[in-house]
Amino acid sequence: MRHVRTITESEYNPQGSAPPRPSLRGAGSPPGTLTAVPQADQTSPESFPGPPRPARVAPVPLAELARLLDADASATGSGDAQQGGGTADAGVSVTGITHDSRAVRPGDIYAALPGARLHGADFVEQAQSLGAAAVLTDPGGTARAEATGLPVLTVPDPRGRMGELAATIYGTPGDDLLQIGITGTSGKTTTAYLVDGGLRKAAEKGEPRTAGTVDGGGLTGLIGTVESRIGDERIKSERTTPEATDLQALFGVMRERGVGSVTMEVSSHALVLGRVDGCVFDVAVFNNLSPEHLDFHPDMEDYFQAKRQLFTPERSRAAVVNFDDEYGFRLLTELRGEGRPVTTFSAEGHPDADWRARDVEVGPLGSTFTAVGPDGREVLAAAPLAGPFNVANALAALTALVVAGIDPSTAAEGIGTVPGVPGRLQRVDAGQDYLAIVDYAHKTDAVESVLYAVRKVTEGAVHAVLGCGGDRDPHKRPGMGAALARLSDTAVLTSDNPRSEDPLAILATMLRGASEVPAHERGTVLLEEDRAAAIRAAVGRAGPGDTVLVLGKGHEQGQDIAGVVRPFDDVQVLHDAIRARAAAEQAAAAPAAPPSPSPVSASDPLSSSSPSVAHHRTDNQKR
């Protein structure tokens, strides 16, 4: 087996399969990227009271919060915000806020928000029973909220006011953190982990921008799709960017524990829905933009304008923008026209970019390059994951860190020691003589980029597995099917998270795209509705020097089928499939056992004359 460098070490990719790499988790801990944390929408619901909150919160008078919403504390029916409850409001103080009635704690404001099917006001009695001090809602929820006798703050758009309320209640904790926010279609998660690596190295070296406000500082925070982290404590992520109430509480916990800096993925949904209201990022990063979330955004212009919100004075102080991306170039042109500070980066080495990559060497599972800065300074850097797109992610991270005040050499050193990102080109090693990788790619551009990257480092054939999620943008499905068929030797079309949709209907759309690829340009196309069986099929076709690539779910720990979330981990399933194949081959190569002295009846359905038939029937029954 040819030597390949480990992307991610885990129980499925044991230590010793590659040279040891530095740990970011401190002395006494094994190296390697953290295993993905199961997400709430991928596993069975866990007990509340929800996300972490700071232990010490100074009570804020409800009257003060009412004034923040442009209402007098005694108002009962006038102004932009109305407070009901009469004299019962006197002396009421608030120590928290949540939009989830199950997560209410004594002293909370419960934000009763309008929803697509239900209104949060339907759950005010539950919130009251758990100790809610007041309710924030819209005119549609006011009557139900007032029926509890609790003080009620009514505003036209309660979701749009949660961020500033939460920041006020928790004492504007974000002001004490160095905040770096990352947006774009692809690469947010990887870039966030790389930035965090640079911040950890800077904290280790005592660079002042990373120091916490509490003794014992120097810890870093991370908020994103895979997980949130406070130092080394890991918290499952329900979505890429938490709701404003949870986000500000998380900032409060970070400040309380001595965290000095936080790296955060910022989705377009978060910007449109106000999840980052109350945040002002020190550095905002724009990676790229390609078609995605067009079930939420009506078109690409709306999608761009949503991302554009991160680069306003209300949301960020400095911008880092990808010079090579079409939308990135548009953004930097607009920002410079407004007089906003912008620093650009170019993985393609464009001389007009502030930071550019030169002498790029793409390796089997990582790349090295020279980062050249605006003053001609050169820094040797590494992208610890394969693919040209990860050179761009690493350069974006380095540029953001430098703009944040981190020394370029320190930034590059920290980025280069990141041991991997869960579900992003994550290697699965069970001793096989072919490469096995799991990746989160779930849109056409990402699928193409990963396949191109893997092809460059694969001696043999590429066997790829891919599905499309249900109840999500259906327009990308034909393109994803076509990309897999065109760029793989074996393209196995399967299920992702079909949710409420018919898995076969999703597969039919993907197959339509695959069928439009000319026959001489496409590989073998297989359809297998069962994802585990699809992974086994790809593994079964792999030979020495080949690559098995499982795409779409990455770090996810469950599969949503018809509203039921079943445990499912691509990394584990792929590992098990490799082990099962190896065991079967070993058994087949073993010397045959001596024949049984007892004769077998010819009518026995399990006789040697019909083993394949019996096995075939078993498979059909399972399906």
Task: Give the annotated binding-site residues for meso-2,6-diaminopimelate.
Answer: 472, 496-499, 552, 556
Determine how many CB atoms are found less than 10 A away from the CB of residue 499: 18
Rounded CA-CA distance 506/499 in Å is: 11
Q: For 482, what's the count of Cα atoms within 13 Å in the CB-facing half-sphere?
A: 12
Annotated binding site: 101, 184-190, 240-241, 267, 275, 472, 496-499, 552, 556
Q: Residue 343's beta-bridge partner residues?
A: 320
Q: How far is CA 551 from the centre of its chain?
A: 14
Q: Which H or E run includes 524? A: strand 524-527
Contact 131, 101 (CB under 8 A): no
What are the residues whose beta carbons fall under 8 Å from the beta carbon of 165, sequence distance 6 or more?
65, 68, 69, 97, 109, 136
Task: Please report where in the chains the tokens 């994802």 appear, as a residue.
Answer: 531
Residue 416 CA, distance from chain mean position = 21
Q: Show the DSSP H helices in 263-299 as ranges.
A: 268-272
Q: Which amino acid is at 156?
A: P
At 300, list the tokens: 């690409």
- Helix H or strand E segment including 565: strand 564-567
d(CA 589, CA 596): 20
Greatest pairwise CA separation for the chain in angstroms? 95
Residue 148 phi, psi (nearest 5): -80, -15
* Phi, psi angles (nearest 5°) of residue 284: -115, 130
Binding-site annotation, residues for ATP: 184-190
- For residues 92-107, one letter each, b for 16 or more C-beta atoms within 10 angstroms of the residue's C-beta and e for the rest, the string is bebbbbbbbbebbbeb
Query: Is residue 74 within 8 Å of residue 166, measured between CB atoms?
Result: no
Question: CA–CA separation, 172 vs 165, rounded Å?
Answer: 10
Instruction: Dump the DSSP string for 51-62.
Output: S---S----EEH
166's tokens: 């939460």
* In the block, residue with structure tokens 């970070």: 254
